[in-house]
Structure formats: C-alpha cells, structure tokens
Amino acid sequence: MDAGSIRIRGREATYRVAGSGPAVVLIHGMASSSSTWSGVIPELAQNATVIAPDLPGHGGSTNPGGDYSLGAHASCVRDLMIALGIPHATLVGHSLGGGVAMQMAYQFPERCERLVLVGSGGLGREVAFFLRALTLPGAELVLSLGCSPRVLTAGQTVAGWLRRAGLRPTAAVGEVGRCYASLARPEARTALLHTLRSVIDTGGQRVSATDRLPLAADIPTLIVWGERDGIIPVGHAHDAHDAIPGSRLEILRETGHFPHAERPERFVDALSAFMDATEPATMSEHRLRDLFRG
C-alpha cells in the first residue's frame, strides 16, 4: 500500500493506492481519512486497484477554502480519478463518504460502475445528537477546547495506562479515537465544521438523496450497515434497500458505525462477492434522460 500525493487545481490531494485490476475507490467519512480503510485495503488489492483519497481538509489533503458541499467533495474525487487515469470505478463510501459516492453517481454517472453505501449519510433525517450539537453557534470554541493538546495528551496517557493493564480498545473505539486526534489541527476542525454544517442542522441531516435513489436502479448497489450503528440508524439501510430496485443489503450483527474496521473480513467478503456477481454499469445519455423523466 503506497501513499501518494498530487497537486490538483492548486491544492495538495493525498491518497493511498494498492493492487491492480478493476478500480475501487474508497471514500471515508467526516473527520476521518484514508487510514480508516487500512484493514481492508490489502485484501481488496489482491484483485483490484484500490484508491483511498483523503477528502479536502482531511488527512494530508489541503483545505479548498469555501466550498465543503457534497458536490465539491464529489468533484474533488472525480478530479483525482482523472489525474490518476482512472476512467471509472466501484465507488465505496462510508458515512459522509456514502453521500459523496451518491453525489458522484448523480453528477458523474459515467464514472460509477457500482455503488457501495456503508453506514451512509443522506438516506434519512436521523443522526446522532452530538453531530447536531456541533452545528450550534459556539461549537468552534467548544471543539477547540475539547481538542486542545493538553486534553489530547491526557487522553493518550489514559489510553496508555489501559493498554498496559491489558485492556485493548475495540476497533470502533479506535476509529473514533483517530477521528478525535485528527481534530488537534485547526484546519481539520475547520473542514469538519464546514462539511458538517453543509449536510446537518440541529434537526438532523438536511441533505437527502431519497428522491434520487430510483436513479440508482441501473447501477449495481450494495448497502452495508452495522446492526448497532449509533451514529446513523440501521433503519436507513432498510429504507434505501426498498427504494433502490435490485440493491443488495448486508446487515452485520454485533457491529456499529464502522463495519469495514470492526468486521474487516466480513466486509471484504461481502464487497468481493458483490463485485464478482455484478457487471459494471454503463450509463448512456439516452438512458439518463429516460430516468430523469420517469
């Protein structure tokens, strides 16, 4: 697995890449980075070219400044695909990344061979309270104080004590910890808050793809969700499955919001079986016109 960096339209875009074969693009969630896919990239790369970008303002990618909408993120992923010479791919999106993947399938259907939604946003109003709270005025100050170096150091110290005592954090706790640690950087907090407020308000998720889901009928679609997801309820998975004709649904038991990190082997098996059993979508302008008018 190699780390890459490329300059696109004046900003630095970082990514991870591995393997060869059909392209698979893995899109991470909010406050996360391409590292969230570390547990599944090696296995997937045995049969595919796997590209995991850092979204703008996340990981090593620089902030774009101004526009943190789903459309802007989708355009950045599209730009990276063009820069790397990847004409089309299976798009896999987790949480916010699921919304970005759906936006890509809508904006750039010719680049989407398959769509895989993992604990995805954009499929219903409900979302965890703490994310809604971060849209309130003053959240910048609270987040800055809560992610100060002193607080982060204290947390790392406690985590070290627990490890020495033989207590290991679960994969889900580890992912949350990495997201939290990334917010020590002011630019990462800026990216989080701007991105968050573009898709969520105090009432919940305010950007919905539900009116576009029937358009995905021509795109092989897999929906993967943790049975115990405490961030975005599993009911959204069932609703999306009902709304997308021909879609596949995988609910992972004893699993929370990070199926790819909590159950990496099961996740890889589900994704690999799905890709083996489906043919890549090819969307024509004529077909798109029929779907839009339907």
Helix 186-199 / helix 70-83 crossing angle, nearest 10 deg: 120
Q: How many CB atoms lie within 10 A of CB 57?
A: 23
* DSSP 8-class letter at 56: T
User: 95 an active-site residue?
Assistant: yes
Tokens at residue 13, please?
Answer: 């875009």
Does residue 33 have an active-site annotation? no
Q: Which of 73, 194, 257, 260 is catalytic?
A: 257
Measuring CA to CA, which residue among 193, 246, 201 is closest to residue 223? 246
Q: Are 258 and 175 in contact (CB under 8 A)?
A: yes
- Please provide residue 12's backbone torsions phi and psi, each rounded to the nearest 5 degrees: -90, 125
Report helix, strand or coil for 258: coil
Please tell me which residue in 32, 95, 182, 247 is annotated as part of the active site.
Answer: 95
Which among 58, 73, 229, 241 is annotated as catalytic? 229
241 is catalytic: no
Give Cα separations from 259 to 113, 116, 171, 229, 267 (angstroms). 22, 12, 9, 9, 7
Query: Residue 12's beta-bridge partner residues?
Result: 7
Q: Which residues are catalytic?
A: 95, 229, 257
